[in-house]
A and B are shown apart, each in its own frame.
Chain A
């Protein structure tokens, strides 16, 4: 089976959640009694000091996804680093550093600040630290786009790959849980997330495709996005009932279709789109061949959506 045009596919996945490190368990919801993720236990203590929580979690999931994609071995990257880029989706990653700093200045002065916090004041810290740790010299992006960020990050990764700026992109969605993020969102945060590696199917060193990424849709309202997604499916998948719907309200899921609910993991914000994608990879890995429809959007706000297809269905 050869595609006429270069496709973009997920080739690796990494899940970093309390009590869960593989995508298959995502639809079952949180693991009872699980302790918070311990990054040092996952990737070792070296290099974690002074990094904020979101960056530590991001490094863990990037390592897991790169390893799963066969791009990272015990001695480092197995493909040229200038052809591998990074997209991180995070809305609240450095909110704690920023708020703590401004409170310290108000209570004392700048002399009381820790200089080690300096890099964390910049919102692109997670993506740049992933690049530094694994030697990824391709395009390096941080998407902070509210509720749709995770699916948007995948959109930009796919665009960057199709335009030839890179062969592989690590796409990570991560949000930390702390007092500041809880007060800001009014909810317990996911304190973790997921990463995938997406690549051009013609790229050197690419593992077998696990899930094909379709084009992205953007609409003014969430229900329009759901309707257009159902229409966008082609061929045998035209019957939208045969598939998995993620992020759609019950009324938007076509009768007979399956759906999964990831809301039990806490407020996921920028991590949600990547948790959806990881769920879709598990769906395809389990042998399901029907497409996965993913949606993100606020009640009255704009929405992003896409269709992911298990590779067996690709024509």
Chain B
């Protein structure tokens, strides 16, 4: 079984829509910059991948919502859906919800009420969507939401579902990470021997998924499977068995063998332990197969809740264009990944029929999706 993806939308620090983001990735443009919303004096780390949309000095509330609404707007327009979504389900995966707005309420007295923590009210106001749902799921949140979207179509609960992910950076998350990171990384260097950790980023991504293609509308790609599980191992450290199980489940559900997969978009956050675990597992799973491997976080930062869906949209663009953007800042691959066909330096031109997308999160929440081009 597979379901058509009929619309896509995304915003990040390196682009205001999927085309611009994909071009930036291929050209090596980074969104890393000095802190825009936080008081730099109070942190050891001084860089983030922020979207430069603030109008005044300091920070402002409601930005995660703003990014989400824009990504959904793009996806809805791309799919040719009406602007009034009504009962069409909208499933939003997020790591940090509107917790940044909560912080500004508590610290500065910015207006805020408890119902602003989730995205339902905003989606209702903007799109008339009354079946919207916010899931908090760390760094795999949007792929987890995608799994539920898949299940709704498969169980006949809806013909169309919108799946999205979004996050800004909260000061509490950034600050707590800063507390334990004495030597902050200058760059995000996924799968590199010299990687020193990740840097958070902002963004939102959305897709429209349908049971059947809409007559006269383009299909952006096909979703073949989504697998989700949990390591039940550690709050922050990954577990190879859980990661491997999620990949094997996704491949089995898609009916894809490792050798059928042309491209893997890695989770690849640039943290020492996460990248090592992911490299070990994919080296084992793809032993004998030769897919290309890439990842986007060197240029977008770790966009948490939206990261998985962002990677999926990049995979769809690679399927469509036959171009795979390189992993930026990768010069010397980590030993566990030495046998892997890691794309670096420049884009790789290669036919991509089937792509796998990895998303692994805090708390060991793993999600893996498989997408394909025209059947």
Contacts and interface: CB of A to CB of B under 8 A. Distances in A.
A102 B106 contact: yes
Nearest to B45: A110
Contact of A145 (B118, B137, B232, B245): B118
A105 B43 CA distance: 9
14 contacts: A110-B176, A113-B179, A119-B235, A121-B173, A122-B363, A125-B235, A131-B231, A141-B137, A141-B144, A143-B134, A144-B135, A146-B114, A146-B134, A301-B120
Interface in A149-175: 152, 156, 159-160, 162-163, 165
A101 B179 CA distance: 11
Interface string A19-63: 000000000000000000000000000000000000000000000
Given A98-B103, A128-B363, 19 more contacts: A102-B172, A118-B176, A123-B95, A123-B96, A124-B363, A125-B363, A137-B231, A140-B137, A140-B363, A141-B135, A144-B134, A146-B117, A146-B121, A159-B151, A162-B155, A165-B147, A220-B87, A220-B130, A302-B131
B131 A185 contact: no
B136 A128 contact: no
A159 B148 contact: yes
Contact of A129 (B44, B99, B229, B235): B235
A145 to B, nearest CB: 5
B362 A128 contact: yes
Interface in B75-132: 86-87, 94-97, 99, 102-103, 105-107, 112-115, 117-118, 120-121, 124, 130-131
B235 A132 contact: yes
Contacts of B170: 98, 102, 121
B364 interface: yes
B102 A99 contact: yes
Contacts of B232: 81, 131-132, 134-137
Contacts of B245: 82, 137
B363 A105 contact: no
Interface string A188-229: 000000000000000000000000000000111000000000
Contacts of B147: 139, 165
Contact of A128 (B134, B178, B229, B235): B235
B228 interface: yes
B179 A98 contact: no
Nearest to A134: B232
A51 B69 CA distance: 34
Interface in A265-304: 269, 298, 301-302
A91 B138 CA distance: 15
B175 A119 contact: no
Nearest to B305: A123
Nearest to B152: A159
Interface in B167-210: 170-173, 175-180
Given A91-B118, A110-B178, A301-B124, A139 B172 contact: no
A165 to B, nearest CB: 7
Contacts of B135: 141-144
Contact of B177 (A118, A160, A165): A118
Contact of A144 (B118, B138, B151, B157): B118
Contacts of B231: 131, 137
A191 to B, nearest CB: 16
Nearest to B172: A101
A110 B179 contact: yes
A124 B365 contact: yes
B230 A92 contact: no
A119 B41 CA distance: 24
A115 interface: yes
Contact of B234 (A115, A132, A301, A302): A132
Given A115-B176, A124-B136, A218-B87, A144 B233 contact: no
A69 to B, nearest CB: 18
A124 to B, nearest CB: 5
Interface residues of A, number: 68
Contacts of B43: 109-110
A315 interface: no
Contacts of A156: 133, 148
Centre residue among A118, A136, A147, A301 by max chain B CB count within 10 A:
A118
B58 to A, nearest CB: 12
B350 interface: no
Contacts of B124: 301-302
**Sorted from nearest, which 7 A-B pairs have the closest CB atoms?**
A128-B363, A123-B136, A101-B172, A140-B230, A302-B130, A119-B235, A99-B106
A115 B130 contact: no
A274 to B, nearest CB: 17
Contacts of B172: 97-99, 101-102, 105, 121
A98 B173 CA distance: 8
B326 interface: no
B292 to A, nearest CB: 29
Contacts of B177: 118
A142 B42 contact: no
Contact of A127 (B228, B236, B363): B363
B299 to A, nearest CB: 24
Contact of A92 (B86, B107, B114, B148): B114
Interface in A71-115: 81-82, 85-86, 91-92, 94-95, 97-99, 101-106, 108-111, 113-115
Contact of A124 (B87, B130, B362): B362
A102 B103 contact: yes
B301 interface: no
Nearest to A127: B363
Given A128-B235, A128-B363, A269-B114, A117 B176 contact: yes
Interface in A251-266: none
A220 B131 CA distance: 8
Contacts of A97: 172
A87 B211 CA distance: 26
A101 B171 contact: yes
B151 A138 contact: no
Interface in B232-248: 232-236, 242, 245
A162 B117 CA distance: 30
A165 B102 contact: no
